[in-house]
Amino acid sequence: MTVLVPVLGDQLSFDLSSLATVSQQDAIVLMMEVSDETTYVRHHKQKLVYIISAMRHHAQALREAGWRVDYMRLDNPDNSGSFTGEMARAIERHDPRQIVVTEAGEWRVSAMLDSWETIFGLPVSICRDNRFICSHKEFEAWASDRRELTMEFFYREMRRKTGLLMQDGKPACGRWNFDKDNRKPAKPDLLMPRPLRFPPDAITQEVIALVEMRFADHPGSLEGFDYAVTAADAERQAASFFADTLPQFGDYEDAMLTGERFLWHSILSPYINSGLLDPLDLCRRAEAEFRAGRAPLNSVEGYIRQILGWREYMRGIYWREGPGYVDRNFLNHKRSLPGWFWTGKTEMNCLHQAIGQTLATAHAHHIQRLMVIGNFALLIGADPKQVHQWYLEIYLDAYEWVELPNTLGMSQFGDGGLLGSKPYISSGAYINRMSDYCGACRYAVKERVGEDACPFNALYWDFLARHRDKLGDNHRLAMPYRTWDRQTSDDQTATRRQAKSFLESLNRS
């Protein structure tokens, strides 16, 4: 009798824990493209192409490695459209004695897996996802006796656990964190590394045609799709990052430049999140670059912190806070996102660039997501759940376990400060310092009131004034509140009137 091993779309790893616990002889790997998963939010078209094509390539690779794979395509007329429906049909086909599956990445799918034993009357063994460096149990042990879940302390724990960048129990070169060295703006540079491009092969082209036909109303463009869809190509991109980009990753981590969507970032998150690359392996390789003297510590530490720290921490928070986390709305924000979030057509150049690039490529880097798009959504008081859905739809690397805490928690302050000790907000000055967007904008970044004033400026002060009851005691906001209090009441009134008129104009956009 066989063992049925469902492998989900973000489990495209050869050393997946479920595969490691069964023998090739007994196992039938089940892979399912189902419409429930393609439409529960309106995923960007490139995200759909990426996941489906990567799944089809992975199935092929598993077969070549000797696994029996039962693969259900989206366009199969018998496809029931759901994981549970496809499991039922596969059980009829194969009559397995057991189901073995690696734990799901998110609450919604996890509840589905939990229901299978009862529905199918078969033993279901759910294996820990050991592609993550920190298990749920370890995170809980770290978090349970703390008043504040500060990422920096979690990160240090992970450094100790893995030994990454450690020397005799202490951080290499005496410091845990080099973030302060990593805030340089960038200038256009002809020698800037370019990520590799992977033109669509026959399998990807077939998927592009399928997505174009079935999901024409989903956001985004498919033009120029050139992401890797195999582990081998993802590995090529990783090797190119370590060879050409990592040394300057740290310096320009927060910089933004018109027309440069990648800068010195790795562009590996989609591959890590779907299983084509292993996060710990990437951290170890980054460390090896430092030890070999090929990359400076500020870059290597910065890169490792993003993966070992932020990525693992976000997952820990997601599972710890439970399925209700998505409904948190500390600031009681209710505004709908303006329609141009789905077109990029706005006169605010920073948003036009960041959203336009996102629609064209399903990617924006961290600071574009946090300090341009997220900052704006927070300042206008957008409903955090809707903002979360937009991010989940639109980014190639978006899976709820990592996207939700980043968006609702870090970016929208929806959890009231669990994830960040103050809201990530700024006026136009920050965007002007870190990008070249303002020079080409119809608005004047230094103006606060008047027809040409940069909307971020009045919105920033209005946000602080509006939320004084909830944020006034936050010691990290003491300085801006003092600055606000020093302004004349005429200036304050003019600023708030400017913000009000801008917010009213959004209702018409």
Ligand X SMILES: Cc1cc2nc3c(=O)[nH]c(=O)nc-3n(C[C@H](O)[C@H](O)[C@H](O)COP(=O)(O)OP(=O)(O)OC[C@H]3O[C@@H](n4cnc5c(N)ncnc54)[C@H](O)[C@@H]3O)c2cc1C
Answer yes or no whether residue 241 interacts with ligand SF4 by CB under 6 A. Answer: no
How many residues of this chain interact with ligand X, rule: CB under 6 A?
28
Closest distance to ligand SF4 from the beta carbon of 430 (Å): 8
Among ligand X, ligand SF4, none, residue 432 binds (CB under 5-8 Å by kind): ligand SF4
Answer yes or no whether residue 349 interacts with ligand SF4 by CB under 6 A. Answer: yes
Closest distance to ligand X from the beta carbon of 67 (Å): 27
Structure tokens at 300: 């290597």
Q: Which amino acid is at 39?
A: T
Among ligand X, ligand SF4, none, residue 370 binds (CB under 5-8 Å by kind): ligand X
How many residues of this chain interact with ligand SF4, rule: CB under 6 A?
14
The partner residues of 234 in beta bridges, in order of sequence, read none
Structure tokens at 394: 């639109």
Answer yes or no whether residue 27 interacts with ligand X by CB under 6 A. Answer: no
Q: How many angstroms separate the CA atoms of 92 and 167, rounded?
A: 56
Q: How many angstroms separate the CA atoms of 488 and 51, rounded?
A: 55
Answer yes or no whether residue 273 interacts with ligand X by CB under 6 A. Answer: yes
Q: How many angstroms separate the CA atoms of 57 and 78, rounded?
A: 22
| Dihedral over Cα of 366, 104, 361, 334: its sign | negative
Answer yes or no whether residue 220 interacts with ligand SF4 by CB under 6 A. Answer: no
Site for ligand X in 285-304 (CB under 6 A): 303
Among ligand X, ligand SF4, none, residue 380 binds (CB under 5-8 Å by kind): none
444-449 long-range Cβ contacts below 8 angstroms, 24+ apart: 448/495, 448/498, 449/494, 449/495, 449/497, 449/498
Closer by beta carbon to ligand SF4, 71 or else 456: 456
Q: How far is CA 407 from CA 51, 67, 129, 270, 287, in A?
A: 22, 38, 23, 17, 29
Pick the stretch among 11-19, 86-94, 348-356, 360-368 that binds ligand SF4 (CB under 6 A).
348-356
Q: How many angstroms separate the CA atoms of 478 and 484, rounded?
A: 10
Site for ligand X in 311-330 (CB under 6 A): 311, 314
Closest distance to ligand X from the beta carbon of 442 (Å): 26
Closest distance to ligand X from the beta carbon of 117 (Å): 30
Answer yes or no whether residue 426 interacts with ligand SF4 by CB under 6 A. Answer: no
Q: Say which residues have a Cβ less than 8 Å from residue 84's Cβ, sequence separation at least 6.
A: 112, 115, 116, 119
Closest CA to 453 of 420, 387, 501, 406: 501
Site for ligand SF4 in 449-478 (CB under 6 A): 454-456
Structural contact between residues 426 and 394, judged by C-beta atoms closer than 8 angstroms: no
Provide the pairing of β-strand 68-72 with 170-171: unpaired
Q: Where are the alpha helices (DSSP H) in 79-230?
A: 83-94, 107-120, 136-143, 151-162, 202-214
Closest distance to ligand SF4 from the beta carbon of 440 (Å): 8
Answer yes or no whether residue 310 interacts with ligand X by CB under 6 A. Answer: yes
Among ligand X, ligand SF4, none, residue 428 binds (CB under 5-8 Å by kind): ligand SF4
Q: How far is CA 403 from CA 28, 124, 197, 261, 363, in A?
A: 32, 28, 25, 19, 13
Closer by beta carbon to ligand X, 38 or else 273: 273
Among 267, 355, 418, 431, binds ligand SF4 (CB under 6 A): 431
Answer yes or no whether residue 379 interacts with ligand X by CB under 6 A. Answer: no
The partner residues of 27 in beta bridges, in order of sequence, read 3
Among 6, 96, 250, 374, binds ligand X (CB under 6 A): 374
Q: How far is CA 376 from CA 31, 183, 329, 371, 509, in A?
A: 39, 21, 17, 8, 15
Among 3, 370, 434, 445, binds ligand X (CB under 6 A): 370
Q: Say which residues have a Cβ less than 8 Å from residue 362's Cβ, sequence separation at least 6.
A: 44, 46, 47, 50, 220, 394, 395, 396
Among 46, 182, 204, 269, binds ligand X (CB under 6 A): 269
Among ligand X, ligand SF4, none, residue 269 binds (CB under 5-8 Å by kind): ligand X
The partner residues of 28 in beta bridges, in order of sequence, read 4, 68
The partner residues of 254 in beta bridges, in order of sequence, read none
Answer yes or no whether residue 438 interacts with ligand SF4 by CB under 6 A. Answer: yes
Q: Say which residues have a Cβ less than 8 Å from residue 196's Cβ, sequence separation at least 6.
A: 228, 233, 236, 237, 240
Answer yes or no whether residue 498 interacts with ligand SF4 by CB under 6 A. Answer: no
Site for ligand X in 385-444 (CB under 6 A): 391, 395, 397-398, 402-403, 406-407, 410-411
Answer yes or no whether residue 443 interacts with ligand SF4 by CB under 6 A. Answer: yes
Closest distance to ligand SF4 from the beta carbon of 459 (Å): 10
Among ligand X, ligand SF4, none, residue 311 binds (CB under 5-8 Å by kind): ligand X
Closest distance to ligand X from the beta carbon of 138 (Å): 17
Closest distance to ligand X from the beta carbon of 208 (Å): 22
Answer yes or no whether residue 154 interacts with ligand SF4 by CB under 6 A. Answer: no
Task: List % helix, strand, coil for the chain (3-state, nearest 5).
Answer: 55, 5, 40
Closer by beta carbon to ligand SF4, 12 or else 354: 354
Answer yes or no whether residue 428 interacts with ligand SF4 by CB under 6 A. Answer: yes
Residues forming contacts to ligand X in the complex (CB under 6 A) are: 265-269, 272-273, 303, 306-307, 310-311, 314, 365-366, 369-370, 374, 391, 395, 397-398, 402-403, 406-407, 410-411
Which residues of this protein are in contact with ligand SF4, per CB under 6 A? 348-350, 428, 431-432, 437-438, 441, 443, 445, 454-456
